[in-house]
A and B are shown apart, each in its own frame.
Chain A
Amino acid sequence: NGGRSAKLKRLSRNRCRRHPLYVDFNDVGWEKWIIAPSGYDAFFCLGECRFPLADHMNSSSHAMVQTLVNSVNGAVPRACCVPTSLSPIALLYLDSQDRVVLKNYQDMVVEGCGCR
């Protein structure tokens, strides 16, 4: 909707950082087979990777070079604001034979964002 995309535009003008995002399994129809949790904090990365990239931006050297080139040639895109560290979550769920499984799923939560 209009309001939300305007808000995301405003957010993306700010520097690259982690933003809150709660995934409610009811919203995606997974509550039937996931016993716990009912949702989790996944987060997402959004924001600009503008010159100069501050140290805390957790940037790769390539991102710095790309950002430098972008500062002299706007046709080259800036680096992207992406997750740079992720962590797992444990899901307790029912499999297709109605058996109960407890499993650790990799890379489900954004712990850190950076310019790449």
Chain B
Amino acid sequence: GRQGGDTSEIDHGRVHPTPSALSPSLRDPGLAQTIQSLLLSRLGLQSQPDPRPGVPVPRYLVDLYHFHQQQYHLVEDPSFNFPSQHIQEANTIRSFHHNDFIFFKLSFFKKTTIVHISFNISSIPQDESVLSAELRLRRSDEAALGPGPHRLNLYLTEHHEDPEPTLLETRLLTNGLRSYKTSGFWEAFSLSAELLHKAHAGTGSLGFLLEVRPENNTTSLPEQTLSSAHLRVCRSVGQDDHSWAQERPLLVTYSHDGRGQALVKHGRRNPGGINWSERGRVKR
């Protein structure tokens, strides 16, 4: 921090600056490594991530990034919704793909078939507080929903044999929302912070049961239609990693690590000034 000039006489024998401290050689790789480690820990990372090549990135996170950067022309999904009700105070958004799923029969639903999916959220750092989350399920265009409206029931479950899962939300699936030409539509279910805190403090795993049934009839759809007609919860035979990563269920958490500003600057509830409703559409 010196702007030139010899300062030795003012030290009066107090702290003599060591010559090396005056002009550290920044070419020293060890020093560069130390600086980098300090910066990474400042970024909340223990070490520099070393991802395997070609990790597929969910479109939703990329669109969220471009939208945040006000690069609206780069947002690809025309049905993209800016999750303003989730992102209020968060400065970190994490995405999780589901571990696996199990088709099974349960007496609880009168011998119907439902799907169990679970997410491992143990990688969320302890010093990060989850403020909100959403479960995103992709509906498929391949098959019509069949005659009449259908209902999607979402249950929270400790494990897939849980006899009494908790109904979190029930939602009528209609065809009307699919008027625009896209290859599908995401159903987003808001999840409370408490639910995430409990799972994170416990097993670190969050499990859901999904059931789709015709609205005017008590029997659930037979197994083979549940997977293809409604929700993309299982990979098609021969489907590649990238396209599957764009369709599979996605858990998104919104949290704050106690360091720094939220992603949406206060007073800018409406980043970019786009005139859209709370769950508005991105104008192309």
Residues of A within 8 A of B (CB): 12, 28, 30, 32-33, 35-37, 48-49, 74-78, 80, 88, 90-107
Q: Which of A49, A75, A94, A99 contacts B7 (CB 8 A)?
A: A75
Q: Which of A12, A33, A49 contacts B51 (CB 8 A)?
A: A33
Report the minimal beta-carbon distance from A110 to chain B, rounded to whole angstroms: 15
Let me know if A94 and B51 touch, CB within 8 A: yes
Query: Does residue B99 face the partner (Cβ distance < 8 Å to A)?
Result: no
Q: Which residue of chain A is the closest to B61 with respect to CB atoms? A: A100
Report the minimal beta-carbon distance from A83 to chain B, rounded to whole angstroms: 13
Query: Does residue B65 face the partner (Cβ distance < 8 Å to A)?
Result: yes
Residues in A with CB closer than 8 Å to B191 are none
Q: Which of B3, B62, B94 contacts A36 (CB 8 A)?
A: B62
Q: Which of A76, A96, A106 contacts B10 (CB 8 A)?
A: A76
B84-106 Cβ-contact flags toward A at 8 Å (1 or 0): 00000001111110000000000
Known A-B contacts: A75-B9, A100-B95, A101-B92. Give 17 more (CB < 8 A). Answer: A33-B51, A36-B62, A36-B66, A49-B3, A75-B5, A75-B6, A75-B10, A78-B3, A88-B260, A90-B65, A92-B62, A96-B51, A99-B123, A101-B93, A101-B94, A106-B260, A107-B260
Counting from the closest, the 4 A-B pairs by CB-CB distance are A106-B260, A33-B49, A94-B51, A102-B93
Give the complex CA separation of A82 and B31 in angstroms: 22
